[in-house]
Amino acid sequence: MNENQECMENYETISEEIKYITNSLVRLKILATLYEQPLNMKDINRTTGLSYSSISSNMFGLELGGFIYRSGNLYHISNTTELYVSNILELKDTINLFNKFFNILDAHIVDLIPEKSVAQLYLLGRAILVESNEKDVYRTYNIIQHALNEASSLKCVLPFFYGDFNKYINDLIDEGSHIELIIPKNIKENFEYFLNLENDNVDLTAFNIENAFLLVVTDKVMILGLFKEDGNFDQNRIITSKKEECIKWGENLFENFKNKINK
């Protein structure tokens, strides 16, 4: 058997196994429960709310297929099944995320976000979409300025020049806070003129890509803004969160984008 045939057979096997798991909500519920921790039959019944007969018949098939195994009176999921369930749950979270943030993802430029960060979008599950309105047209910019004012450290992708941000960034620089900025080369002079970039605590990287994205990551919050497909920045919508996993996602996005433009 050549390598291509072997890969195809492995792919077909994996596809059938995932199909078997996802074709039954009962099986998926049982596996998602065991994904959290090994349980006995009684605890599976209590946790899932499924009937004993439904649990028993599905557990028999799962055990026969090698998806789960029994040790003593506890049921465990296999290592391979754990990976399947993890991917399924991450995909579910990502789909929910797309629905939640449809207004900022639809008709916006997202292809400049590195693949590694796209693959971890599920980490933004507890982030929120903030939108400006007629009563508060500067709502998103005010949130960004507040984040800069409250920050003790900053990693920032600024794809455009907005003068009101400078005071807060300069305050951080003067306080000796660690600052990392990624800015467009075509407006680099504007930043150099208004910001105290000569300080040793400032790391500046410039890029040539148009219509990237806005990213503000501080020790307290993450903020993401996108450009619309017409090339204009969408100043009416941002994704933001103070949750640890969302801030970590923002930090990873910053590093992934920095690596991408430095290649």
Query: pLDDT tens digits, residue range 221-255?
Result: 999 999 998 999 999 999 999 999 999 999 999 99
CATH number of the 3-88 domain: 1.10.10.10
Q: What is the CATH number of domain 101-261?
A: 3.30.870.10
pLDDT above 70 as % of the chain: 93
Residue 43 clears pLDDT 90, i.e. is over it: yes
Close Cβ partners of 18 (under 8 Å, ≥ 6 residues apart): 84, 88
Short-list 88, 75, 25, 34, CA closest to 54: 25
> Model confidence over 181-198: pLDDT tens digits?
999 999 999 999 999 888
Cα–Cα distance, 193 to 156 (Å, whole number): 18
Distance between CA 250 and CA 240 in Å, rounded?
10
Given its phi and psi angles, is residue 204 left (phi above 0), alpha (psi -120 to 50 degrees) or beta? beta
d(CA 157, CA 223): 10
Torsion of CA 201, 161, 116, 203, to 10 degrees: -10
Q: Which long-range contacts (CB under 8 A, 24 or more apart) does 165-169 make?
A: 166/194, 166/195, 169/195
Give CA–CA dist 72/259, Å, rounded. 49
For the chain, what is the total number of helices (H) and then of strands (E)?
A: 11, 9
| Ranges of CATH 3.30.870.10 domains, the chain | 101-261
